[in-house]
Structure 1
């Protein structure tokens, strides 16, 4: 465990984003806590007693970010290995696979293909994949990680694959078949390979001003060994804190296993359904492009997606978690899946009393297909919406994947952040890395400039969801804000002009008027440069640092 600091540090000569003083330019840290926030003139009194005085040189000081949904090992493997996220065509993807195969021994693991972005409009065939991989075993997850490609060599290493739901002899694998080939590939990782991948994620997060990560683990998406290794690594490293979630039903021992593994919740990616891109998100009405799924068998076409859990299973799990005083959580994207979650949580509230259920702040991950009725139910049941604004940036808009899969009307209703906030539903922002990149300011921008204008929220609200919202989702209401007595967890930024940005600039515009008494944040208008992280500090410990000037 890294030794804690008891030093006194004075930051001065910048801008401090604090509700304690909207005009603050300085902050004093004593050990792990913030001791004072105030003006430059008052800082003189502390300069002589501080162990270190940091000249901010105009830098911005903010609470550090919290990424409320990550998969550290998979994200690290994409950072350090085969990542097809930016491939513009099928031939480019095949060429990248071939180059990686020439330089890598053993099982190959890659991520990020997205046929909806390619002119060919299809994934590689099994023959093309085998040729590109040179006959090696290869696991290649789709960008949403809800379906995958696997070479013949990896399929041969996966016992009973042909009998599993979601199997296809040549097309992408879904459901249990996907989980099986993923396990077959990840089981080949050595302890050192896993550690290096996790380190890559922690280091990237620290360099981006992220102080904490919510790891969404589980028996289908990772393993017990993976989660315990990550939690142990985070405890010994000077890097972001990691809070683990274990996504396994109570009927399978999930509550007891979450406790044993050191997880803070029995949830996260506890799948109620899949994802829109893979046509496995569970819907009430059929997919608009179900006939174009590429399947050769009608029975394999998921017209309305896939339901992995029933409302009764949700109810039993929430009941068990609540009785154990443990937070529950579910992955639910499609409207039918979200209805199953809400029905189940309401049933648990009827059994135990609504106050007991609400007190745990049970989570719904992603929660994309919402309407006014379901949003009101979120508020009624005290649910936290753990959401990913970068999904809209990647797949929203008139020509995006959402429209291809759902049509214009349903696509335009997705990710309604403004309506959630109006209803009082707590928001916690994350990336779902490697599905989208660790990119906190980009995430804030995506929420403020949602491609459906009525869903936009202010930069200030989006920033709060990506900082304090992540702590509140853990039940730590005192964290994620720079006020005296709060933990000294913050980041320093080189940035341009600070402004107050409203969700609709036609109504409120941009403001730099100090008389507003509202602290400013960086201008995140699309096309502007995002802030650069200069330092990340977690409970008084510097975990990332670069020059403050230059």
Structure 2
């Protein structure tokens, strides 16, 4: 325990979001844990016995957020490099590629992220010829925003012998499947250890500045590499910043544990993504004559879940399409028959994304104790009558996606994340996206969304004692500058608000679309300050 974690700190003069006292205005932190939560008057008894008193000046204190699905190095590379997520046209994207190439003459491989042709009037990705011209013939790896396909230059293909014979190679279209994995590995191999550490620090600092206290790193042999994963875990241990909980998506359970992962889970691909037409569906895409790509079947899922359950570690899978989710459910049930339902439930296995869920699949998730690690910002970005989901699936199927309200009613545990850099680290924006889902029947309360983005992430790792500010809990918290606090009326799940103090419910910021989101002033992890906003 560091010296700062030994310190006793009294925070007073604000609002503390705590079920221990819905009217709390003060909190004491001691030895990295919450020691007391209560009223301003009672705080006087602690004032003389603490190492530091922080005057909150009316600020709000909440548990720190947990982002339950992050790719940290890729997030940092997007923050420090070429980000095309806000480009409005293909021409603008090519111009950014050209400028980035000119600004990084020493990079062995140029790296970018975030293009989405469905948002451009041209409705097509950049061609290889266009990228070759924009980079001056240099190697470039440019994944689509969902990271399940990529466009590359000829020079990068030259670094991957045999790529043209691999599954997923397309001469004039984005690379997918094995071809994509091969070029991604070649591109990441060109990142130096110094560049990687710089990117990881940038991502961790950015997360801390947003009030995020814990990240779930979802790594694996098809996503990054072992050095990247172990380097990140070591960096997070050595330097102040958010906690990093590691998941390694590999069927080799012993290898995952040896690398420091708490689960052989995360992006263990059962399918791909909707945007890249690689999510696995029961019925064909509305805009393509196929049903996507299956990577694991129910038998493979069952074998992995059984192995993980026997080893006492979490299993987890990336499953987006309804056929992929069906394979996960069938495999989980087969594993439960082999080792016992109680053991499968106790292991708290996970499913990442879980977007296309039927009522039967939701009931199965509840029965099997599966945590749904989901990303509400996906709906904000791609939902709605005219969004990418509707383009890929048709409006009727698109309206069934991300049914958070039905999941909560069934008792499915939710853990919220971003899948950054697919969508940005933005915890309050994520809570807003769930509360104001583009499909009204899928909306949940702000309170439920906030819980899924704080306590839900801890529960997904097997910890039930954290993510909430009560005595004995880890002192992971954030301090916010915000407007008036509101309390959601108990008889309305979504839109009506009440400030009636008789509700006895801790208030949260007004997240109505158009309202300003809270600004993080301070982030603390295990009693250690990891971010303070300048001039505050």
Q: Same fold, TM exceeding 0.5?
A: yes
Cα deviations by residue, 1:74-101 (Å, 9 ceiling, x for unpaired): 1110000000000000000000000000
Contact 2:435 2:494 in 1 (8 A): no
- 1:234 is matched with 236
- 1:274 is matched with 272
- Distance of 2:280 and 2:2 partners within structure 1: 44
- 2:149 is matched with 147
- Distance of 2:535 and 2:30 partners within structure 1: 21
- 2:214 is matched with 212
Cα deviations by residue, 1:408-447 (Å, 9 ceiling, x for unpaired): 1110000000000000000000000000000000000000
- Distance of 1:545 and 1:503 partners within structure 2: 35
Paired residue secondary structure (1:113): coil
1:263 is aligned to 2:261: yes
Note closer, same or farther for the CA distance 1:121–1:414 as it changes in structure 2 (3 Å cut). same
- Distance of 1:532 and 1:548 partners within structure 2: 13
Contact 1:449 1:503 in 2 (8 A): no
Contact 2:109 2:187 in 1 (8 A): yes
1:344 is aligned to 2:292: no
- Distance of 1:399 and 1:503 partners within structure 2: 33
Following superposition, the deviation at residue 513 of structure 1 comes to 1.1
Following superposition, the deviation at residue 371 of structure 1 comes to 1.3
Following superposition, the deviation at residue 504 of structure 1 comes to 9.6
- Distance of 2:172 and 2:225 partners within structure 1: 27
Mapping of residues 401-416 of structure 1, within 5 Å: 401-416=388-403
- 1:157 is matched with 159
**Which one of 443, 462, 465 corresponds to residue 430 of structure 2?**
443
Contact 1:501 1:523 in 2 (8 A): no
Mapping of residues 329-368 of structure 1, within 5 Å: 329-368=316-355
Contact 2:157 2:183 in 1 (8 A): yes
- TM-score, normalised to structure 1, is 0.96
1:434 is aligned to 2:436: no
Following superposition, the deviation at residue 358 of structure 1 comes to 0.7
Cα deviations by residue, 1:305-337 (Å, 9 ceiling, x for unpaired): 000001000000000000000100000000000
- TM-score, normalised to structure 2, is 0.98
- 1:294 is matched with none
- 2:297 is matched with 310
- Distance of 1:275 and 1:89 partners within structure 2: 22
- 1:290 is matched with 288
Paired residue secondary structure (2:114): strand
- Distance of 1:401 and 1:505 partners within structure 2: 30
1:546 is aligned to 2:523: no
- Distance of 1:479 and 1:506 partners within structure 2: 25
Following superposition, the deviation at residue 463 of structure 1 comes to 0.2
Number of aligned pairs?
A: 534
Contact 1:448 1:503 in 2 (8 A): no
Contact 2:209 2:533 in 1 (8 A): no
- Distance of 2:489 and 2:401 partners within structure 1: 21
Following superposition, the deviation at residue 536 of structure 1 comes to 0.4
Note closer, same or farther for the CA distance 1:324–1:3 as it changes in structure 2 (3 Å cut). farther
- Distance of 1:73 and 1:7 partners within structure 2: 32
Contact 1:361 1:382 in 2 (8 A): yes
- Distance of 1:230 and 1:114 partners within structure 2: 28
Contact 1:489 1:538 in 2 (8 A): yes
Contact 2:249 2:265 in 1 (8 A): yes
1:393 is aligned to 2:363: no
**Which one of 155, 171, 174 corresponds to residue 172 of structure 1?**
174
Paired residue secondary structure (2:6): coil
Contact 1:459 1:502 in 2 (8 A): no
Paired residue secondary structure (1:10): strand
- Distance of 1:340 and 1:501 partners within structure 2: 38
Following superposition, the deviation at residue 52 of structure 1 comes to 0.6
Contact 2:37 2:471 in 1 (8 A): yes
- Distance of 1:424 and 1:311 partners within structure 2: 24
- Distance of 1:506 and 1:372 partners within structure 2: 20
Contact 1:2 1:236 in 2 (8 A): no
- Distance of 1:89 and 1:109 partners within structure 2: 19
Contact 1:458 1:503 in 2 (8 A): no
Cα deviations by residue, 1:147-191 (Å, 9 ceiling, x for unpaired): 000100000101210111100122100011001000010000100
Note closer, same or farther for the CA distance 1:505–1:257 as it changes in structure 2 (3 Å cut). same
Note closer, same or farther for the CA distance 1:101–1:338 as it changes in structure 2 (3 Å cut). same
- Distance of 2:488 and 2:250 partners within structure 1: 41
- Distance of 1:450 and 1:115 partners within structure 2: 23
CA RMSD of aligned residues (A): 1.3
- 2:5 is matched with 5
Which structure 2 segments of 5+ residues have no match? none
- Distance of 2:203 and 2:439 partners within structure 1: 31
Paired residue secondary structure (1:425): coil
Which structure 1 segments of 5+ residues have no match? 292-302
Contact 1:68 1:428 in 2 (8 A): yes
Contact 1:67 1:429 in 2 (8 A): yes
- Distance of 1:229 and 1:503 partners within structure 2: 46
Following superposition, the deviation at residue 2 of structure 1 comes to 5.5
- Distance of 2:86 and 2:490 partners within structure 1: 29
Contact 2:444 2:494 in 1 (8 A): no
